[in-house]
Amino acid sequence: MSVILAFVIIAAACSMITIKNLVGYSDFGPVIKNSVIALVVIGWFGAPILYFVGKYDLVTDMTYTSLHQIFYCMLAFMFILFICLMLRDIFWFILFRLLKLFDKASWEWDPNNSDKLNKANLTVIVLSFVICIYAAWQANKLPYVEELDFYSDKIKNNVKIVQISDLHISRTTSKDRIKSIVDQVNALSPDAIVLTGDTIGDSINKINSLLDELRELSAPYGIYAIMGDHEYYNNVYDAKKAFEQRGITFLFNGGATIKVANIFIAGIPDYSTMAERINLWRTIYKSKKENYRVLLSHSPLIVDALSKELFDIVLSGRTHGGQFFPVHWFVQKLNHYLAGTYKVNDIDLFVSRGAGTLGPNMRLLAPADIAVINLHAKQ
């Protein structure tokens, strides 16, 4: 409830500032002003309202999918528009102050010049629209394949693990999109595949046919999944059953050994929603001290509580790499680790930007990824 209240307060403030910027200083008629006000308010509040509409099945799935695309695109546009307006105003006021300082200021450059302001607003609107188109194109591309190499004398034979994170499969997800990602992963010839949380982004009964596409994933040493916060929101026990029905091993304080390589793959509950259920000693109970231990944890924050004696590498997701600039800064503050590789407590950590999206189907300066984790026997 506190998160919802915080969003309402922020959205209300952003709406008022945007409306003031766009029509507050102009001589537009009431029709244009009221239309702008309505669009801005719908843009900021339509998507959150739609969340509850979908949660309680107040409309058909087809209607929900259409409204989801419209309202979340509007929310993304309003967010980018707000950022662009703020940046424009900051630079404009700085420039005007500098011109006044050198006695070069004129009405032509005055931020209070309504004609100039209207033209500047139009420019910012067009720019925001172009940015949104680019972000949508980025999100709909196939994920970038990131290859990483790690070496250890504990590893007996080389193993290729392909990591898929944050697919967020929901009723608005295209079946062709999932199929394309599955084909992309299989083409990498993985020895093992790991799904590091938030694979599921909707009620299981809404996405069963979409989840069936995961049956086509293929890896000789197994396919493993863990929970993320969205598996928790959509009933983690239903998620476990859904994975196992499709031949995917669900790891919940447990693991499996790839004997030919001396590698132990372990998975834990989500750190952000079920931290009290995490039992690291139970997780590694079936492993041996000499195993190279891989931990699958949706949240990268767990790495701060680990030691080298427990795990050699942690594979995480959750952050989406920020997904939508400039949210990156906020996401990094919350999760400490944004995306890519880190070394923490002498443990290797990789944080995936994920293969799907949350909310608007857009990505800005945070391209989707699939990771190829090459584990090499040190010569």
Whether 302 and 363 map to the same domain: the answer is yes
CA triple 144-149-153, angle to 5 deg? 160
Among candidate residues 105, 139, 173, the one where a domain is terminated? 139
For residues 133 and 161, membership in a common domain is answered with no
Q: Are residues 203 and 58 in the same domain?
A: no
Q: Which of 104, 139, 174 is the last residue of a domain?
A: 139
Please report the pLDDT score of residue 368 as a whole number: 97
Say how many C-beta atoms besides its own lie within 10 A of residue 240's C-beta: 17
- Total domains, the chain: 2
**Which helix (H) or strand (E) covers residue 263, if one does?**
strand 263-267
Give the pLDDT confidence score for residue 56 in this predicted structure.
85
**Same domain as 127, residue 235:** no
- Enter the tokens of residue 304: 């701060």
Residue 366 is part of which domain span?
A: 144-377
Preceding amide of 111 cis, omega within 30? no
- The angle subtended at Cα 251 by Cα 271 and Cα 193, nearest 5°, is 105
The SS3 of residue 101 is helix
Q: Are 169 and 148 in contact (CB under 8 A)?
A: no
Tally Cβ neighbours within 10 Å of residue 274. Answer: 16
- Same domain, yes or no, for 126 and 149? no
Q: Specify the 3-state DSSP secondary structure of 220.
A: coil
| pLDDT value, residue 1 | 56
Tell me how far CA of residue 355 lies from CA of 158, 163, 167, 267, 324, in angstroms: 25, 10, 5, 20, 14
Residues 171 and 115 in one domain: no
10-residue mean pLDDT profile of the chain (379 residues): values are: 78 94 87 94 91 86 92 95 95 91 82 88 96 96 97 97 98 96 98 98 95 97 97 96 97 97 98 95 95 98 94 97 93 94 97 96 96 93
Give the neighbor-by-neighbor strand order of the sheet with 292-296: 254-258, 263-267, 292-296, 313-316, 347-351, 340-344
CA–CA gap between residue 344 and residue 95 (Å, rounded): 44
CA nearest to 209, candidates 159, 236, 174: 174
pTM score, two decimals? 0.93
Torsion of CA 28, 31, 35, 38, to 10 degrees: 110
DSSP state string for 282-324: HHTTTS-TTSEEEEE-SSGGGGGG--TTT-SEEEE-SSGGGSB
Is there a single domain that holds both residue 153 and residue 245?
Answer: yes
Query: CA quadruple 328, 330, 333, 336: dihedral positive or negative?
Result: negative
Centre a 10 Å sphere on the Cβ of residue 46 and count the other Cβ atoms it contains.
Answer: 20
CATH number at residue 182: 3.60.21.10
C-alpha distance from residue 63 to each of 82, 228, 249 (Å): 28, 27, 34
Same-domain status, 126 and 150: no
Last residue of a domain, one of 119, 139, 159: 139
Question: What SS3 state is found at 29?
Answer: coil
Phi, psi of 366 (to 5 degrees): -155, 70
Same domain, yes or no: 158 and 14: no
Residues 236 and 355 both lie in one domain: yes
Cα distance between residue 51 and residue 72, in whole Å? 10
Encoding tokens for residue 202? 């909707």
Q: In terms of domains, do 130 and 218 share one?
A: no
d(CA 111, CA 115): 10
Give the pLDDT of residue 373.
98
Same domain for 95 and 81? yes
- Could you write out the three-class secondary structure of 91-128? HHHHHHHHHHHCCCCCHHHCCCCHHHHHHHHHHHHHHH
State residue 83's pLDDT score.
96
